[in-house]
Amino acid sequence: MKLPLTDKERSGLRAAKVKVKDTAEMEVKSLAQALGSTMARAKYIKALAQFQTVPSIGPKIAQEVIDLGFYSLADIKDETGADLIIRLEKRKGYWEDPCAEDALRCIVYYANKPGSGKSWWDFTEERKRYREQYGYPADRPSTPWYEKKR
């Protein structure tokens, strides 16, 4: 699990005897106290940690989920990976690598079936079947992720 903690925040966690992996399940108020941070910062750190508890999900896709406005697995459980990728692509202005949709599907699945051992690649065939049947919306960005301006 990777979290963008400052040296001060890491020291605060150590002093409070809190392991980084435990931040995903802490109350925001307690986490803010341990980090020596604001409630907003603690909410953000907790969300990054919680999404990374999903098997095969790393900090980049966890950040993408937060950018879409979700701060917990409970927040995302009524969503679909297909809808989330469209929202993400519209927000970014380019289409994502298809594995990003697989990862979003994995997060939603895990939110509904905690403890599932499925990884993002377990959703590839499901995504392919879905996209073959329904395709993408006409207003999907036309630029692929590998051609975006850096």
pLDDT score of 121 more than 70: yes
Give the Cα separation of 38 and 65 in Å (integer).
Answer: 21
pLDDT score of 150 more than 70: no
pLDDT tens-digit map of 7-49: 999 999 999 999 999 999 999 999 999 999 999 999 999 999 9
Mean pLDDT calculated for residue range 94-123:
96
Mean pLDDT calculated for residue range 128-143:
95
User: CA–CA distance from 81 to each of 34, 76, 84, 107 (Å)?
Assistant: 34, 10, 5, 8
Query: What is the residue whose two structure tokens read 């996209």?
Result: 131
Task: Show me where the domains of the chain are located.
Answer: 1-53, 60-150
User: CA–CA distance from 94 to each of 60, 67, 149 (Å)?
Assistant: 16, 15, 10
Question: Terminal CA-to-CA distance of the chain, rounded, Å?
Answer: 26
